[in-house]
């Protein structure tokens, strides 16, 4: 069952990749045709593959649920995968409302990156600790993830808007920031590549070090250590010796991973620039040429409108109910809670700015992009860097 589940996820991943190619192809094909007569053949194959992939993805979810006896949303791998799955689900729904293949070109890669990123974390099925043994685990986590996924669609729409509307012939501040987002996505890819490369090589280096409580501790690196831990001592033979050591309070292993990811991402980015001979944003611009900016703006706005209540319900209301039962208080200013509140406040500000201050179009698109960065920060940094009650193993 467990291996079937893993295979289904793999199938879904591949199908999403192929579907993205088809969506991209649908735009190149016969200029402007799909505007009048609905999606062309390429787009139809693309969405068919996406749905097929989604079915496989749901299959992964159900089989893993059966194997574990609890909904697979209890650690970082499971949650992030589920997030990616919801993102695809949200995309399928929005696709059928607005019939916009170009959304697939942007939303699917985000989902693919998420699922790939998830697979970099321990994948074994872990038993539930007492605090997680509650039906609210399923209710709270799935609703919160669904809300975040719908909000993420507005990020994809925002990206499309920016790629299309920004004038790529000039070097502007907006272009710089859009490119920074692209660079960030490439670095995520860098992280995935480096982790996969070193784990397929079976790289392992053990260190003795002094932790932040001045205690001796051991740590195992899965990547060559550029940055070593505090007062390190390499235990494994013939492994790369750190160039630099970090003080005890900094998690050197994680910093090391970040450095590798950025290095790989930077090289990848430079290669892309060399091949494309222009900014990634500029290279993507032709993909967006047939879409109407106003429609993209509306897709972005609607996904915030649909996602915001779902997110509030899952990440705040259900979260509070469960926290009252499991942790004795509905709110305790745990970092994860605070970041859920920050996400809530941010989208509340988005809605107010849009409704009352008339922030449409480009401003709104930038806000959608920032909103997604906040969601990702909550998913990645709050779990891995800022320790709290929600910290998952990883």
Beta strands in the chain (DSSP E): 205-210, 216-221, 227-228, 233-234, 244-245
Q: How far is the CB of 231 from another protein (least distance, A)?
A: 17
210 beta partners: 216
If one asks whether residue 355 binds another protein (CB under 8 A), the answer comes out as: yes
Residues 326-345 that bind another protein (CB under 8 A): 326, 328-330, 332-335, 338-339, 341-342, 345
Q: Site for another protein (CB under 8 A): which residue of 35, 93, 131, 276?
A: 131
Q: How far is the CB of 69 from another protein (least distance, A)?
A: 6
Torsions phi, psi of 69, nearest 5?
85, 0
Q: Are 297 and 339 in contact (CB under 8 A)?
A: no
Number of helices and strands in the chain (H, E): 13, 5
If one asks whether residue 69 binds another protein (CB under 8 A), the answer comes out as: yes
Nearest partner of 250 among 205, 206, 219, judged by Cα: 219
If one asks whether residue 68 binds another protein (CB under 8 A), the answer comes out as: yes
Residues 227-266 that bind another protein (CB under 8 A): 249
Q: In the structure encoding, which two tokens stand for residue 304, read together? A: 């915030």
If one asks whether residue 348 binds another protein (CB under 8 A), the answer comes out as: yes
Provide the phi-psi class of 38: left if phi over 0, else alpha when psi is between -120 and 50, else beta.
left
Q: Site for another protein (CB under 8 A): which residue of 116, 125, 151, 365?
A: 125
The smaller minimum CB distance to another protein, of residues 21 and 326, is found at: 326
Q: Site for another protein (CB under 8 A): which residue of 134, 174, 208, 266?
A: 134
User: Residue 178, Cβ neighbours under 10 Å: how many?
Assistant: 24
Q: Are 9 and 16 in contact (CB under 8 A)?
A: no
The smaller minimum CB distance to another protein, of residues 286 and 358, is found at: 358
Helix/strand/coil percent split, the chain, to 5: 70, 5, 25
Q: Site for another protein (CB under 8 A): which residue of 28, 31, 204, 212?
A: 212
Nearest partner of 184 among 211, 207, 159, judged by Cα: 159
Q: Judging by DSSP bridges, how do beta strands 227-228 and 244-245 pair with one another?
A: parallel
Q: How far is the CB of 352 from another protein (least distance, A)?
A: 5
Element (H, E) at 232: none
If one asks whether residue 211 binds another protein (CB under 8 A), the answer comes out as: no
Contact code string over 77-116 relative to another protein, x by CB under 8 A? --------------------xx------------------
Give contact residues for another protein (rule: CB under 8 A): 1-2, 67-69, 97-98, 122, 124-127, 129-131, 133-134, 212, 249, 292-295, 298, 301-302, 305-306, 308-309, 312-313, 317, 320, 324-326, 328-330, 332-335, 338-339, 341-342, 345-346, 348-349, 352-353, 355-358, 382, 386-388, 393
């Amino acid at each position: 069952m467990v291996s079937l589940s893993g295979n289904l996820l793999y199938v879904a991943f591949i199908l999403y990749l192929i579907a993205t190619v088809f969506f991209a192809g649908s735009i190149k094909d016969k200029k402007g045709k799909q505007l009048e007569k609905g999606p062309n053949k390429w787009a139809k194959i693309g969405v068919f593959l996406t749905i097929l992939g989604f079915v496989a993805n749901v299959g992964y979810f159900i089989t893993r649920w059966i194997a574990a006896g609890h909904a697979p949303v209890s650690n970082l791998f499971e949650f992030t995968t589920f997030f990616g799955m919801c993102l695809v689900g949200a995309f399928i729904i929005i696709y059928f409302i607005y019939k916009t293949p170009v959304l697939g070109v942007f939303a699917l890669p985000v989902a693919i990156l998420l699922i790939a990123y998830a697979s970099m974390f321990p994948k074994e099925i872990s038993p539930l600790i007492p605090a997680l043994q509650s039906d609210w685990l399923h209710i709270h986590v799935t609703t919160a993830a669904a809300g975040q996924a719908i909000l993420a669609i507005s990020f994809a729409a925002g990206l499309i808007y920016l790629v299309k509307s920004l004038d790529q012939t000039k070097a502007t501040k907006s272009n710089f920031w859009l490119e920074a987002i692209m660079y960030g996505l490439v670095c995520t890819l860098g992280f995935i590549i480096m982790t996969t490369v070193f784990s397929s090589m079976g790289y392992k280096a053990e260190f003795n070090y002094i932790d932040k409580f001045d205690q001796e501790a051991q740590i195992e690196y899965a990547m060559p250590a550029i940055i070593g831990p505090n007062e390190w001592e390499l235990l494994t033979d013939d492994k790369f010796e750190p160039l630099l050591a970090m003080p005890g309070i900094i998690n050197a292993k994680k910093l090391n991973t970040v450095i590798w990811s950025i290095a790989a991402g930077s090289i990848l980015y430079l290669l892309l620039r060399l091949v494309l001979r222009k900014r990634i944003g500029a290279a993507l611009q032709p993909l967006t040429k047939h879409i109407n900016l106003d429609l993209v703006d509306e897709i972005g706005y609607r996904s915030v409108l649909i996602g915001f209540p779902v997110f509030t319900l899952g990440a705040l209301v259900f979260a509070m109910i469960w926290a009252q039962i499991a942790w004795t208080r509905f709110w305790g200013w745990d970092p994860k809670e605070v970041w859920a509140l920050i996400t809530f406040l941010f989208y509340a500000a988005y809605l107010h700015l849009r409704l009352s201050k008339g922030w449409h179009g480009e401003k709104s698109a930038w806000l959608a992009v920032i909103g997604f960065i906040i969601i990702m920060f909550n998913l990645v940094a709050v779990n891995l860097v800022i320790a709290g009650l929600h910290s998952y193993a990883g």
